[in-house]
A and B are shown apart, each in its own frame.
Chain A
Amino acid sequence: MKRMSIEQLLGINKFAVDDDEAHIILKKDICAACMDKPCTFACPAGLYTEKDGEISFDYAGCLECGTCRTVCPKEGAISWQYPRGGFGINFRYG
């Protein structure tokens, strides 16, 4: 089976993206001081990426697992909640 990029994989999923409210918000100044940036390895949707030491994040493809919130070593860097009711990932199989 052909290897797929995470963009392709997320493209198969069904999301109802909440354009008005981000459910996960980063404090990038705290991230700047984070050495290992484990979120970039651990997020199963690959939503955390690092470029030139700066973190960028997109909440749109979030699978709502909660891994980032758990692995983040810096208190206060991630403000995490579930998307508003009805929004976010819609698993059709699960």
Chain B
Amino acid sequence: MEEEKFATIIVGAGPAGSTAAYLLAKEGLDVLLIEKGATPGSKNMFGGRMYSHALHKIIPNFWEEAPVERPVVKETITMMNGSRSVSMDFQEVKWGTPPYHSLTLLRADFDAWLAAKAEEAGAMVACGIRVDDLIRENGRVVGIQAGEDRMLADVVIAADGVNSLIAQKAGLGKKFSPKQVATGIKQVIQLSEETISQRFQLSGNQGAAQLFVGDCTKGMHGGGFLYTNKSSISLGLVVTAGALQHSQYKIIDLMEDFKENPHIAPLIEGGEIVEHSAHLVPEAGLNMMPQLFGDGILVAGDAAGFVLNLGYIVRGVDFAIASGEAAAKAVLAARANNNFSRQGLSTYQQLLKESFVMKELVAYRQAPQFMANPRMFTSYPQLVTGLMGKMFTVDGGPPVRLLGKVFSQIKQSKIGLTQLAVDGLKGARLL
């Protein structure tokens, strides 16, 4: 069979791959975007919101045409311990108007839209095809193999997500350890638009995001999340695979327990589950980053480990989009010099360094280790909920002043004052 040759072949129509395909097609390049799912997005899930800045830069005012759900105007962090919970709310009304700071999304729709933008710009989108291997010539990547089909390209971009088999096949990525990734489990719960707005005290189409820490993961490293879509709620848990490796709890039971939790149940009452999904999150950031480029190949998005999890913020989609953009620019630079070797593609590294992608990953380099501190998921939620419990309980018992309550609670938590101070300082420094 005659082998087709493209300027660029991109593996994976997630946000990273579709962005790269869109930008290269716009420059008139022959681009092939290959996706194993029957449609782009049919294999993808995430927690629920995208920070808009990265895509706004590429497709200004994208929200006017993209299938987005609600702009988030309200952030809540909730610590839970048994019957008690303590929440901290933050609201920014301005985020409800353009340029929306962040938007909740459902990936099946959104990813399909972004891939369609690439197609509109002239990229060829081939779905239902699993890339099995890379074709090499003199050690250089020159194409891909999918079943019996072979397709050639000047450059291949591996945008194939967290389990990047392609980066591994290229010898750029290693198999990650269970401590470096987390399993996300999620259910989409349908509820009427009005019910959601009322329950979360939102006006119009405004949205809410909520994170949970404490006994929803039974003290395991991880937490819960909730995002309001137009007429559904995305609810789920994220637990490090390393913790699951030694767990006494099944993650599927944790999820059902979570929905029954007295602090969650009223939020989803009357809803109907319409999907149960799961996916891995690359959590270790720079510590799990593969080599980002080789002869004839670039690695972008989750495949490169580009996710930032600070506990109170989870970001991957804007990193995927920006790294897809950098990959596209690197391909254009390599074309200008007609040099697709490792050295010819090295602009990629430089572009990433100059963008928020590397700047933020480097700045928060130690956050993953700090977040792995087990006190975060047990002692602190206990301490805070216990303290609030003492403050607000009136039972006719002998009076204890606030400071006394604080000290007795800290003593009970067994954290120790020095530890508390050290953790507090560390957190303030690293996050």
Which residues of chain B come closer than 8 Å to A10, judged between CB atoms? 276
- Checking A4, A64, A70, A82 against B273 with a beta-carbon cut-off of 8 angstroms, the contacting residue is A4
- Checking A3, A4, A86, A93 against B188 with a beta-carbon cut-off of 8 angstroms, the contacting residue is A93
| A16 B38 Cβ-Cβ under 8 A | yes
Given A9-B273, A41-B248, A85-B129, 20 more A-B residue pairs with CB atoms under 8 Å apart are: A3-B260, A4-B256, A13-B277, A36-B246, A44-B183, A44-B252, A65-B183, A65-B278, A65-B279, A66-B163, A71-B241, A81-B165, A84-B130, A84-B147, A85-B36, A89-B277, A90-B39, A93-B108, A93-B234, A94-B275
Which residues of chain A come closer than 8 Å to B268, judged between CB atoms? 1
Does B106 lie at the interface of the complex (its beta carbon under 8 Å from any beta carbon of A)?
A: yes
| A63 B275 Cβ-Cβ under 8 A | no
User: A63 CA to B276 CA in the complex, in Å?
Assistant: 9
Q: Bin chain A's interface residue count.
A: 35 or more
User: Closest approach, in angstroms, between the C-beta of A10 and any C-beta of chain B?
Assistant: 7
28 pairs from A and B in contact (CB 8 Å cutoff): A1-B268, A1-B271, A3-B256, A3-B260, A12-B276, A16-B38, A38-B245, A41-B250, A43-B251, A44-B251, A44-B278, A65-B279, A66-B280, A70-B178, A70-B181, A82-B36, A82-B165, A83-B130, A85-B36, A89-B277, A90-B42, A92-B108, A92-B274, A92-B275, A93-B188, A94-B41, A94-B44, A94-B111
Q: Bin chain B's interface residue count.
A: 35 or more
| A67 B232 Cβ-Cβ under 8 A | no
Chain A contact residues, majority secondary structure? loop
Q: Which residues 247-292 in B have Cβ within 8 Å of A in the complex?
A: 247-252, 255-256, 259-260, 265, 268-271, 273-280
Q: Which residues 277-314 in B have Cβ within 8 Å of A in the complex?
A: 277-280
| B130 A82 Cβ-Cβ under 8 A | yes
User: Closest approach, in angstroms, between the C-beta of B91 and any C-beta of chain A?
Assistant: 26
